Amino acid sequence: MKVIAVNAGSSSLKFQLLQMPEEIELASGIVERIGKSDAIFQMKFNGEKHKLVLEILNHKDAADIVIKNLLDYGVIKDLKEINGVGHRIVQGGETFKDSVLVTDEVIKQISDLSDLAPLHNPANVTGILSFKEVLNEVPHVAVFDTTFHQTMEPINYLYATPYEWYENHKVRKYGFHGTSHQYVSHRAAEILNNPKAKIVVAHIGNGASLSAVKDLKSVNTSMGLTPLDGLPMGTRSGAIDPAILGYIAKKENMSLEEVLEALNKKSGYLGVSGLSNDSRDLEEAIKQGHERAKLAIDLQVKSIVNYIAQYYVELGGLDAICFTAGIGENASDFREQIVEKLAPLGVILDKEANKLRGERLISTPESKVKVFIIPTNEEVMIARDVLRVGFQA
């Protein structure tokens, strides 16, 4: 059985075709600059990379290009080989507590949640509609970033704001990166042979979040109503004093929207360093003695350590800490800085193992908490849910 996992953004569309249930990647790629005459299509399969620059005016064109190239390059011989489609949806609110089969009503409900994710949900809906038009005979399943965190208790998802804000407008913590946190925590529990394990997942990429997991369920997470909350990230500020918004709006003569734009797109690594939102650029600058680049990394490291310590107490101890995503999986010096600061919790890093890549244990036998690198695979989680939800008897 072949399943395609789709992640549609406002001007991009990522995809991965998997052979299921074997979970073998057959092809993957991305369409970028949708809406432009010089849009870019890239696809990887059989160890080869293919790239085209062409006019792609909308997501329907992008979906057509993906399918056409899967056929042209012989990845599939016929559209009937694709048995299901999974769609990543950023915000499911309290409406969706699990992945669901896409219906007209589900599409409407996802659209209705756009106030909570104005940059993401409309694009996600566009992706659904585009692929449903191309592949209209197979089940389409919506997989939400937020559903894994729906197991949080009110004490962890409510804010101390007027309760009417929650009742009337659903102001609460939702959390994101749920498919990644679910995949990594389940894999860690499998390695530990302990489904009741207490686990912290550190998903650290340009966007970054932590989760506390117990009994394979999310107990707490760092992102909030939106992905802006929690850790400092590539361009996001993370948690700040909310009074800063009004203060800067007045001082800089900015609108609320402009301040939020700065907190989302001009803060984090980029804002503090003044150089880049890419951790690799900052690491190079640090070697040249750039103090603000170091400060940008240090601020994030401190925040990660604080969250891990909080979750250690909240869970009543930890069995494992798992690093994942672009920075978490690949930046050995970054992991070392974090683990060294966790020494009071009895966490000890195996520095030689930490220099290596791929799934592995990077703590010593003496460490009271095991530390892992576990590469995430959100597409596999999406494909698993297509099988589970889309082909129910």
Measure the CA–CA gap between 184 and 174, rounded to whole angstroms: 19
Identify the active-site residue in 145, 229, 319, 350. 145
How big is the chain, counted in residues?
393
CA 214, CA 196: separation in Å to the nearest integer? 6
Q: To the nearest 10°, the Cα dihedral for 283, 284, 290, 295?
A: -10
- Tokens 């107490």 belong to residue: 313
Calpha distance 364→371 (Å, rounded): 9
* Binding-site residues from annotation for substrate: 88
Closest CA to 308 of 297, 324, 320, 298: 320
**For residue 92, what are its two tokens?**
């499911």
Radius of gyration in angstroms for the set of CA atoms belonging to the chain, rounded to a whole number: 21
For residue 298, indicate whether it is catalytic: no
Tokens found for residue 393? 């008897």
- Judge whether 96 and 385 are in contact, CB under 8 Å: no
Long-range contacts of 355-364 (CB under 8 A, 24+ apart): 357/329, 357/330, 359/187, 362/335, 363/339
Give the amino acid at 44: K
Give backbone dihedrals phi and psi of 73, rounded to 5 degrees, phi first: -90, 5
Please name which of 9, 15, 291, 326 lies closest in space to residue 180, comparing C-alpha atoms: 326
Going by the DSSP 8-state scheme, the letter that residue 99 receives in this structure is -
SS3 391: coil
Judging by DSSP bridges, how do beta strands 320-324 and 370-373 pair with one another?
parallel
Q: What is the DSSP string of 2-55?
A: EEEEEEE-SS-EEEEEEETTTTEEEEEEEEESTTEEEEEEEEEETTEEEEEEEE
- Binding site membership: which residues? 7, 14, 88, 203-207, 278-280, 326-330, 378
In degrees to the nearest 10, what's the CA dihedral of 391, 386, 139, 7? Answer: 180
Q: Catalytic amino acids? A: 145
